[in-house]
Structure 1
């Protein structure tokens, strides 16, 4: 099955995607200059080929997404998200690139299998791709609670869940993530696996709440998306956006917290795996 996550015109939103785009522009420029040393041109072309080939090869070697996930990815890709950003409707502009996608979806699904999680919490659902991918790995009596602040995105997700045999495992909580977390903690809910992919400026608050309450099970894991934030976290500080600075501060906070150990994987836009010590 062909992966239908994004049309060819989708902008690059990962360090590798941005690097590949820049290398392609350099290749096009150097190939127009006949006076450059042939060895230099060959090296630059090979650098571009190495970067450009990684994502397609990962797609080829990773288990195909389910039909339900492929359909949801296509629906998300063709939606006019720019027209959905209206005052009061959401706290952030929505865009197709917010979709976790095939490789990350299958990674999260594998994590659910590996940890044998029965209860999963997703902070930031968007149209539900990652939620549905993880739900596919949950046992029949498993539960996934998905938090989403945007009503329209939540409705797109609910429609997709209704078309999948695994959708019944998912419970959508609509509202601001921190308020939802407080409600879940107050009612004593706990989770084996938590996936964070919401407001970047609140990542530290999510992290602290998970550790300071019973939301994260004693042997639970936290997966955090976008922890490379388009490479901004390791570029000079003056080149960072507000979100880039927020993620840099989050990464620093996690690295210094003695209660956890973590690994940052260069998957898509960065995926950090955290566990209590």
Structure 2
């Protein structure tokens, strides 16, 4: 039982829906990180769909040793993005917020030998973790790590004449700058290219965000902006902590 007070049939129905679905506890989101998952449905997804490169597995397990490992992209979400990269024959990608490099490696592995991933990361510790795994997987030449703030890298790419040439961008850095990252990404992406934005549900806190919760308010504002943005085609998915897929028109 979920602890609801069954006063009448209407309340019983409401309680059943909330208990069964888990609404209010991020019932429709979750990350597949470790070998074991509390949610049996997520474990089923991992058991029956995840095809993880051996070096990705090693990097994931290494990342789980870090105190901020929850920042790592969900494995099933990364696999989805790798398949999108294959689907559009992407050869140029940007990752805004590399962390330990799990998804940068994931994208590089999905690209041909001529592929290039520009990976933005400000923490040298995470870059040092990532690079040996890039080398082990044989893709170190595909991943261009930029050790500086992401906005500087994006501006440099635009100044170098690379606007409209990228196929895929993944935004997963500081939430305060998400809107700015999105606008720069739209400039850098080609027509038909994909911008993937992580954490758009923020553990459900984007729904009626608290007045003091500026992060959730900012994500909510961006979600509403994208919903009205006629420059893109749009899907918001409940994979991971919420993933928006925006295709440039």
User: Shared fold by TM > 0.5?
Assistant: yes
Residue in 1 that maps onto 2:53: 66
Q: Is the 8 A contact 2:94 2:168 kept in 1?
A: yes
The 1-side partners of 2:204 and 2:127 are apart by: 29
Alignment of 1:173-252 (within 5 A): 173-189=146-162, 190-211=165-186, 213=187, 215-234=188-207, 236-238=208-210, 241-252=213-224
SS at match of 1:238: coil
**Equivalent position to 1:171, from 144, 147, 150:** 144
SS at match of 2:170: strand
Residue in 2 that maps onto 1:91: none
Question: Residue 217 of structure 1: CA displacement?
Answer: 1.2
**Equivalent position to 2:227, from 246, 255, 258:** 255
Change (3 A) 1:137 1:168: same
The 2-side partners of 1:175 and 1:242 are apart by: 25
Q: Is the 8 A contact 1:204 1:253 kept in 2?
A: no
Residue in 1 that maps onto 2:135: 162
Residue in 2 that maps onto 1:15: none
More helix by share: 1
The 1-side partners of 2:114 and 2:88 are apart by: 16
Residue in 2 that maps onto 1:86: none
The 1-side partners of 2:212 and 2:71 are apart by: 19
The 1-side partners of 2:211 and 2:47 are apart by: 34
Question: Residue 250 of structure 1: CA displacement?
Answer: 1.0
Question: Residue 241 of structure 1: CA displacement?
Answer: 2.7
What is the TM-score with the length of structure 1 in the denominator?
0.74
Change (3 A) 1:229 1:239: farther
Question: Residue 48 of structure 1: CA displacement?
Answer: 7.2
In structure 1, list runs of 5 or more residues that go unmatched: 1-25, 31-38, 82-94
Question: Residue 232 of structure 1: CA displacement?
Answer: 0.9
Give the total of aligned pairs.
224
SS at match of 1:139: coil
Q: Is the 8 A contact 1:193 1:220 kept in 2?
A: yes
The 1-side partners of 2:209 and 2:72 are apart by: 27
SS at match of 1:250: helix
Residue in 1 that maps onto 2:30: none
SS at match of 1:78: coil
> Where has structure 1 moved over 4 Å in runs of 4 or more?
none
Change (3 A) 1:240 1:140: farther
Matched, 1:53 2:28: no
Matched, 1:76 2:66: no
In structure 2, list runs of 5 or more residues that go unmatched: 5-11, 28-38
The answer to which of 56-65 and 138-147 deviates more is: 56-65
Question: Residue 72 of structure 1: CA displacement?
Answer: 0.6
Q: Is the 8 A contact 1:232 1:240 kept in 2?
A: no
